[in-house]
Amino acid sequence: MKETVIKIAGKSRVIAAVALLLLAAATPALAQKNKDKKKQQEQTESSSDAKTMPPMNDTQAVDLAIGQSLGYWQIGDVESLHKYYAEDVVVVTGDWSPPIIGWDNYVKAYQVQRARVTGGRMDRTNTYIKVDGNSAWATYQFYYVTSVDGKASESRGHTTIILNKRGDRWVIVLNHSSIVDSTLASPVPAADSPKPVRP
């Protein structure tokens, strides 16, 4: 009888050892399965959240277009910036320069200015947006700090833009900025520029 008990005990130890090995091997697989299941659940929840989010209204879409265009303008990403500007855009800058007509002309002027600028940050405040069908206008104040030709520059002003909805995107067709306070002097007008009328 003693031998039977020893045999059973020995077999029990082997069975226990095998069970522990199987459990040890199964634990990481079970953890991975739970991790995969949790990841799948999170993906399902995030995709269902995206489906349940209400679409943006036109005012929100215009505000987003303005914000994104200013972001691309600040970092110098012309290709991404182009998505927010019409081919026939008119840009009026804050200095005494003639209006810039057309995207290609605007890009040239922007790149000349950008070559002189290092860093920079533009803050937009007090934005007001009015949407009427496929047209919208927005006005906001800006504060721009940068380094131009190695010298600190600070500008404050107002911008008014007109946008048109073309397809499913809002694009800028007129961008008019006025600088009301700047640490840089305005450029001297070209000889053939019309002279300002003084009262």
Rounded Cα distance, 105 and 96, in Å: 17
The neighbour count for residue 36, using CB atoms within 10 Å, is: 10
Extents of the domains making up the chain: 1-53, 58-182
- Work out the average pLDDT over 31-44: 60
For residues 143 and 156, is the Cβ–Cβ distance under 8 A? Answer: yes
Could you report the per-residue pLDDT of 119-159, keeping only the tens digit for each? 889 999 999 999 999 999 999 999 999 999 989 999 999 99
Could you report the per-residue pLDDT of 146-199, keeping only the tens digit for each? 999 989 999 999 999 999 999 999 999 999 999 997 775 444 444 454 554 544
Helix or strand run (H / E) with residue 152: strand 151-166
Dihedral angle over CA of 108, 149, 96, 194, nearest 10: -80
Task: Report residue 136 as tokens.
Answer: 């919208």
pTM: 0.65
For residues 83 and 66, is the Cβ–Cβ distance under 8 A? Answer: no
- Work out the average pLDDT over 40-46: 60
Could you report the per-residue pLDDT of 71-127, keeping only the tens digit for each? 999 999 999 999 999 999 999 998 889 999 999 999 999 999 999 988 889 999 999
Question: DSSP strand E in 24-111: where?
Answer: 85-92, 100-101
**Domain 58-182 has what CATH class?**
alpha beta
Could you report the per-residue pLDDT of 4-27, keeping only the tens digit for each? 545 544 554 544 444 433 444 444
